[in-house]
């Protein structure tokens, strides 16, 4: 009987164990998979973020380029060691970049809410074209590396932020192209980032702006730009002396008022036309400053000149559907600036001044041509305070498609910077500048001072696109500096140049840039 009982209990336990094992193997109902859905509302490449009604597009490009006889992205050899042509300059400079863009859009009762951002992961030659130890500023011991060039060592690199903005109900908030910018910024047809003659906000500026659409391609935009980084050149305090190619030091004061900008634009099948304006507040720091514009203990009690308003206006025209070929177009813009020289002497970054040297002659060690870029000048004793500098420029390009794989652009620009008054009037901008520059210099009998200068650029770029979104290109460009100084003088340029006699003379330079780019 005990044996029967044991068999029954054992069998029951075995059945329970088997049923438990089988229960563990039973299929569990899986959660529903939410597949990514294409969002066709805003063009190709958008898809819905799972679980939301927001569409997103990820994009960007990888670009590798090399510039010969210049700096990155086709920067001409117009200043520094490149402009000197000395032994510290690099004969070529390369850069590799991966740009990533994130574009999100959501339909609302107020219209589309959009956010956009672009970050550039970059690596380039250390110190952008020069090995001069005096051009390299190392980080203090124990401090974080703060100069982007310091991050360009082996395995280094850095991240640059271009556009970061929000758009809502016609408003734009953040870092975006100014309402004052032309639709193509500084790129009517060129690859390089240094075609001057008009405004360039391709890397964005902090702003708030509102755009109204009137239909039939007509719109108007008004905005406020932060001028601190990209809209100011120099306000020269002429009481601080000068150098071999400058008079005074940059003495811009703090940012007091945003730039007030706006445009009216017509964009239709034939092309587009835009006229834009900008009001720019010019501020100075103090009357008494040390060398280099550095304040001292007398600065605050020395007083300061009152702020002045300057500005600029730009007209831009694009003509499409030219009879020369499908997709061909012509772009041109013209700019006049008063106290806002960055609107003319403009690149995708800062606004350059120029100092270029070339071969010897006429009893001089070498020749020199320079142009000091400024928004205004002042010095104690000016009864009317800050004196604004004038500038104007024009630039454009003709773009031609030979076939679906080959295209060429011919581009150029011309511009001028003018200090007002005359050299004999010490109360004028030109006269005051020259009195400071000439003081203490040994000059030739035919010496004549004039800080005005003109510039011209011309170039051609040809592109080959063997497959969609992959382009190889080569660009040749020339820069010409038409300076207005006459004669010669004993100057002490930046080392390694010697103190010697230099003849004032127009200068020029040529660069070659080659590029490979894959868009995605």
**Residue 8 has what pLDDT?**
42
pLDDT given at position 67:
97
Dihedral angle, C-alpha 70, 72, 75, 76, nearest 10 °: 0
| pLDDT computed for residue 361 by the predictor | 82
Pull the structure tokens for residue 241.
Answer: 């002396």
What are the 10-residue block averages of pLDDT along the chain, 520 residues in total?
43 43 51 76 95 97 97 95 96 96 96 97 82 66 48 73 96 98 98 97 96 97 95 96 95 97 98 98 96 94 96 98 95 98 94 95 94 96 92 98 97 98 95 96 98 98 98 98 98 98 98 98
**Domains located in the chain, CATH noted:** 59-98+115-136+153-519 (2.40.160)
* Residues 265/273, Cβ–Cβ less than 8 Å: yes
Output the pLDDT for position 86.
96
Please tell me what DSSP assigns to residue 109: T
469 and 517 Cβ atoms separated by less than 8 Å = no
pLDDT of amino acid 27? 56
**pLDDT for 20:** 45
Residue 150 three-state SS: helix
pTM of the predicted model, to two decimals?
A: 0.90
Scored b (16 or more CB within 10 A) or e, 402-438 reads: eeeeebebebbbbbbbbbbbebeebebbbbbbbbbbb
**Both tokens assigned to 144:** 């974080």
pLDDT for residue 28:
56
Residue that is written with structure tokens 């395995």 in the block: 155
pLDDT at 349: 87
- What letter does residue 194 receive in the DSSP assignment? -
Question: pLDDT value at position 144?
Answer: 46
């Amino acid at each position: 009987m005990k044996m029967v009982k044991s068999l029954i209990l054992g069998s029951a336990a075995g059945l329970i164990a088997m049923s438990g094992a089988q229960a563990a193997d039973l299929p569990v109902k899986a959660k529903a998979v939410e597949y990514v859905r294409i969002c066709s509302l805003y063009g190709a490449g958008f898809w819905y973020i799972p679980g939301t009604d927001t569409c997103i597009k990820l994009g960007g490009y990888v670009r590798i380029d090399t510039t010969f006889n210049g700096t990155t992205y086709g920067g001409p050899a117009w200043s520094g060691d490149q402009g000197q042509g000395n032994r510290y300059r690099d004969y070529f400079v390369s850069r590799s970049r991966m740009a990533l863009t994130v574009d999100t859009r959501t339909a609302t009762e107020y219209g589309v809410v959009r956010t956009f951002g672009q970050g550039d992961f970059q690596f380039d030659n250390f110190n952008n074209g020069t090995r001069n130890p005096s051009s390299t500023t190392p980080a203090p011991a124990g401090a974080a590396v703060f100069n982007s060039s310091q991050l360009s060592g082996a395995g280094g690199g850095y991240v640059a932020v271009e556009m970061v903005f929000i758009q809502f109900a016609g408003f734009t908030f953040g870092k975006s192209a100014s309402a004052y910018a032309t639709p193509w910024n500084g790129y009517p047809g060129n690859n390089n980032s240094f075609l001057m003659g008009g405004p360039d906000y391709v890397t964005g500026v902090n702003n708030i702006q509102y755009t109204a659409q009137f239909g039939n391609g007509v719109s108007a935009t008004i905005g406020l730009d932060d001028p601190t980084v990209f809209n100011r050149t120099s306000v020269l305090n002429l009481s601080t002396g000068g150098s071999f190619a400058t008079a005074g030091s940059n003495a811009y004061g703090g940012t007091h008022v945003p730039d007030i900008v706006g445009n009216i634009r017509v964009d239709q099948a034939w092309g587009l036309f835009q006229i834009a304006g900008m009001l720019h507040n010019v501020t100075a720091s103090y009357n008494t400053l040390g060398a280099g514009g550095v304040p001292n203990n007398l600065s605050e009690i020395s007083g300061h000149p009152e702020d002045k308003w300057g500005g600029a206006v730009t007209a831009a025209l694009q003509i499409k559907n030219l009879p020369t070929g499908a997709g061909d177009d012509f772009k041109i813009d013209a700019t006049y600036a008063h106290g806002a020289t960055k609107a003319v002497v403009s690149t995708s970054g800062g606004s350059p001044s120029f100092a270029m040297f070339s071969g010897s002659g006429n009893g001089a060690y070498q020749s020199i041509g320079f142009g000091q870029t400024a928004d205004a000048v002042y010095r104690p004793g000016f009864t009317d305070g800050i004196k604004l500098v004038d500038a104007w420029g024009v630039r454009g390009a003709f773009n031609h498609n030979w076939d679906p794989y080959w295209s060429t652009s011919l581009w150029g620009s011309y511009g001028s910077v003018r200090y007002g008054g005359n050299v004999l009037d010490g109360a004028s901008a030109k006269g005051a500048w020259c009195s400071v520059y000439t003081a203490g210099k040994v000059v030739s009998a035919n010496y004549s001072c004039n800080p005005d200068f003109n510039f011209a650029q011309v170039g051609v770029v040809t592109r080959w696109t063997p497959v969609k979104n992959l382009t190889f290109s080569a660009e040749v460009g020339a820069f010409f500096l038409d300076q207005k100084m006459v004669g010669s003088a004993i100057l002490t340029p930046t080392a390694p140049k010697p103190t010697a006699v230099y003849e004032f003379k127009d200068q020029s330079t040529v660069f070659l840039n080659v590029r490979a780019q894959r868009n995605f």
